[in-house]
Amino acid sequence: MTVEATPEVVNMAGASATKGRMVGDRQKTAQRLLRSTAERAYNPELDIDWDQPLADDKRWLPPHRQTMYGTKTWDAMSEDERDELGRHEAVAILSFGLYAEVGLSMMLMRAVLENPDLVDDHCRYALAEVGEETRHSTMFSRLVNKTGLEPYTYPKSLLKLVRLVGLVPLGPASYAGTLLIEEVLDRLQREASADESIQPHFRQLMKIHVLEEARHITYAREEMVRSMEAHGKVYNAIHRGAFAVMVFGVLPALVTPKVYRSTGIGMMRGLIESQLSPEYRKRAVFAGEPLLRFCYEAGFIKGRVSTRILIMSRSLPSDVVDEIKRSRKRSVAA
Is the pLDDT higher at 40 or at 259?
A: 259
Torsions phi, psi for 242 (to 5 deg)? -65, -40
Smallest CA-to-CA distance from 221 within 285, 191, 177 is with 177
Position 19 in a domain: no
DSSP states along 174-222:
HHHHHHHHHHHHHHHHHHHTT-TTB-HHHHHHHHHHHHHHHHHHHHHHH
Residue 118 gets the label, from left (phi > 0), alpha (psi -120 to 50) or beta, of left
Which pLDDT band, with edges at 50, 70 and 90, does 166 fall under? Answer: low
User: What is the reported pLDDT for 8?
Assistant: 46
The secondary structure of the chain in percent helix, strand, coil, rounded to multiples of 5, reads 70, 0, 30
Asked if residue 285 lies in contact with residue 317, where contact means CB atoms within 8 angstroms, the answer is yes
> Which residues fall within 8 angstroms of residue 77, CB to CB, at 6 or more apart?
68, 85
Q: How does pLDDT run across 97-152, given as a tens digit for each residue?
A: 998 888 888 888 888 888 888 888 989 999 999 998 998 999 999 999 999 999 99
Smallest CA-to-CA distance from 194 within 10, 65, 8 is with 10
Arithmetic mean of pLDDT over the chain: 86
Burial of 76 (0-12, 13-18, 19+ CB in 10 A): exposed
Domain with 240 in it: what CATH number? 1.10.620.20
Predicted TM-score (pTM) of this structure: 0.87
Q: How does pLDDT run across 54-85, given as a tens digit for each residue?
A: 999 999 999 999 999 999 999 999 999 999 99
Position 6 in a domain: no
Position 196 in a domain: yes
- State mean pLDDT over 269-273: 94
User: What is the reported pLDDT for 4?
Assistant: 34
Say what percent of the chain tops pLDDT 70.
90
Residue count of the chain, please give it. 334
User: What is the reported pLDDT for 100?
Assistant: 87
| Single-letter amino acid, residue 30 | A
Position 7 in a domain: no
User: What is the reported pLDDT for 114?
Assistant: 85
Position 18 in a domain: no
Position 3 in a domain: no
pLDDT at residue 202 is higher than 80: yes
Position 5 in a domain: no
Handedness of CA 44, 47, 50, 56 (dihedral sign): negative
Q: How does pLDDT run across 17-33, given as a tens digit for each residue?
A: 566 566 778 889 889 98
CA distance 112 to 47: 29
User: What is the reported pLDDT for 20?
Assistant: 57
- State mean pLDDT over 259-284: 93
Q: Which domain holds residue 118?
A: 26-48+58-333
pLDDT at residue 15 is higher than 90: no
User: What is the reported pLDDT for 3?
Assistant: 31
Smallest CA-to-CA distance from 43 within 167, 173, 212 is with 212
CA 282 to chain centre: 16
pLDDT at residue 1 is higher than 50: no
The total domain count for the chain is 1
User: What is the reported pLDDT for 237?
Assistant: 94
Position 12 in a domain: no
DSSP state for residue 57 in the 8-state scheme = T
